[in-house]
Structure 1
Amino acid sequence: MERTETAGAGELSVPGALLDGVPRQRLRAGTGVGADAVSGADAASGAAEVADPGAGSVEAVVPVPVVQEVAVRAFPRVWRLLPTPTGTPFTFWYAVLLAVTSYVADNADPAWVDSVLQASSTDVTHLVQAPVLVLVASALWVAGGLGSPFAAVFLLVLTALERRIGALRTALVFLAGHVVATLATELPVGFAVLVGRLPDTSLHRLDYGISFGVAASLGAVTGLLRPWIRWPVLVLFGGMLLQDLVNLTDPVSNWGHLIALGVGVGTWRWVRRWSAESTEALRRTALRGPALPTAS
């Protein structure tokens, strides 16, 4: 739910609805709140008369902020569910990049695409040879293309998270899930090969995509949801990941998704603090109006 107050100029918005369990307000700079509210007569005129004891009967007119009625919006604007270049730059431009790489993967020469994906794979061999490069390269592709469910989840979840904690912090959460889940799944594979429990071919496997980062971001954003929606989302998503693990569709990736989700849940403390700081900064900016002139 969004609440809207109108007065003055310069509009700032704070998304509300399910996040943080507290409806957010759309405030305009210079809007008075609470003790700054004026009486009906003064609010209508936008000014209050203040007697100047040093000027005898002369009165000074001091303008005061005007507080108008609050319009309640039952649902957030649909466009706020999707990324925008100014509101959510990290999610927006990352989505553009993924759209480009997905188009290339669908239309370029299959042999060339296969070689590029192999080079971007975060398998043990590539992690030993060029860990930073391969971790970045693997996150430039969407496994399954734009039709993958993770592509839709990417747009919705990262947009919601970035609107609450900012671009850099959202990138940090995404990167933490991507890196931690990758290392937590590939390093045991390397150790198992070293002790002879797995064949050498396990060192070369095709593993790329954004799914670990998306799982971590979803886990993080649930910390901002109200409890009645937070736990069903976690149970539903976690149940799907567990089902994949039971079916042994891809044990390494399945474990990675669960680990990434745990990484996201583990960031709740910081995500909530960052969200509160961001909300307070927006509120202070919205309520900071022009200085009132003093009587001479």
Structure 2
Amino acid sequence: MRLRRGVSEAGRGIWAYVRSAPGTYVWLTVLFVTTVALHHMSPEFEQEFLRRRSTNLHELSRHPVRVLVASAMWIDGGSWLPYVVLYSVFHARAERWLGTARWLAVCAAAHVLATLLSEGALAKAIRDGLAPRSAADTLDVGVSYALSGVVAVLVYRIRPPWRYGYLAGVAVFYTVPLVAAPTFTDFGHFVSFLVGLGCYPLVGGRERVRDPKETAPAPPG
């Protein structure tokens, strides 16, 4: 009886947490459906299917709005379960803090600006002969740019001096790959990190409205 009551209370607590961040869990549900759909495709069809929803140079030049939205609804391989953890730790916390509209604005800004700047850098590299022309069709889907922006904006939710340790850890996480063996995706992650930090105006004083007992989230990895 006691066990049943404990399970029931845990279930109510989980449901209350999910309801407090509706945008996060609607997005996770979409990712679950699209991931299941991908697992039912042949590898060849899957790659072509994702390429048409990719924010590569070819698709961005033809259907920019469509692919910017569609690319954030798919995971390029891998499991859906790690995203449940990442979304619950970072996205849900940010949405509960900022509200759905402001949280979504951070996600959109990070996703769009990081995509455009990283693809712009790739276009320049192709023009300068530093990257092959085939790179214009490179597969580029996923949710990591939006996640990076949200990880960064959560800096403002943490009370000093813990804020500076969290900021240093996140900065190292996104800077080291860019310095060690940079790719255009690494550049995009770094840009989205900076965009998240630049979203301070959306915080609107909410950095002071928090539960001091809550601990800082750890960077994804």
Shorter chain as normaliser: what TM range?
Answer: 0.7 to 0.9
| 1:243 positional shift | 2.5
**Alignment match, 1:213:** 146
What is the correspondence of 1:86-235 to structure 2 with a 5 Å cutoff? 86-146=19-79, 152-235=85-168
1:236-269: per-residue Cα shift (whole Å, max 9, x none)? 2321222322342x61010111110111111123
- Which has the greater radius of gyration? 1
CA distance 1:263–1:135, change in 2 (3 Å)? same
Letter in 2 for 1:251: T
| 1:148 positional shift | 7.4
Task: Give the distance between the partners of 2:120 and 2:127, measured in 1 at CA.
Answer: 11
| 1:145 positional shift | 3.2
TM-score scaled by length of structure 1: 0.61
| 1:173 positional shift | 0.5
| 1:149 positional shift | 5.2
Greater share of residues in helix: 2
| 1:206 positional shift | 1.2
CA contact (8 A) 2:71 2:142 kept: yes
| 1:78 positional shift | 10
Structure 1 residues without counterparts, runs of 5 or longer: 1-76, 278-296
Tell me the secondary structure at the aligned position of residue 212 of structure 1: helix
Tell me the secondary structure at the aligned position of residue 96 of structure 2: helix
| 1:196 positional shift | 3.6
Task: Give the distance between the partners of 1:198 and 1:216, measured in 2 at CA.
Answer: 27
CA contact (8 A) 1:87 1:163 kept: yes
RMSD: 2.9
Identity level (%): 26
Task: Give the distance between the partners of 2:35 and 2:16, measured in 1 at CA.
Answer: 18
**Alignment match, 1:292:** none
CA contact (8 A) 2:23 2:100 kept: yes
**Alignment match, 2:188:** 256
TM-score scaled by length of structure 2: 0.79
Residue 268 of structure 1 pairs with residue 200 of structure 2: yes
Task: Give the distance between the partners of 1:260 and 1:162, measured in 2 at CA.
Answer: 17
CA distance 1:210–1:88, change in 2 (3 Å)? same
CA contact (8 A) 2:157 2:208 kept: no
| 1:225 positional shift | 0.9
CA distance 1:113–1:181, change in 2 (3 Å)? same
| 1:144 positional shift | 4.3
**Number of positions where the alignment pairs a residue of Structure 1 with one of Structure 2:** 202
| 1:228 positional shift | 3.0
CA contact (8 A) 1:150 1:214 kept: no
Task: Give the distance between the partners of 1:148 and 1:253, measured in 2 at CA.
Answer: 22
Tell me the secondary structure at the aligned position of residue 30 of structure 2: helix
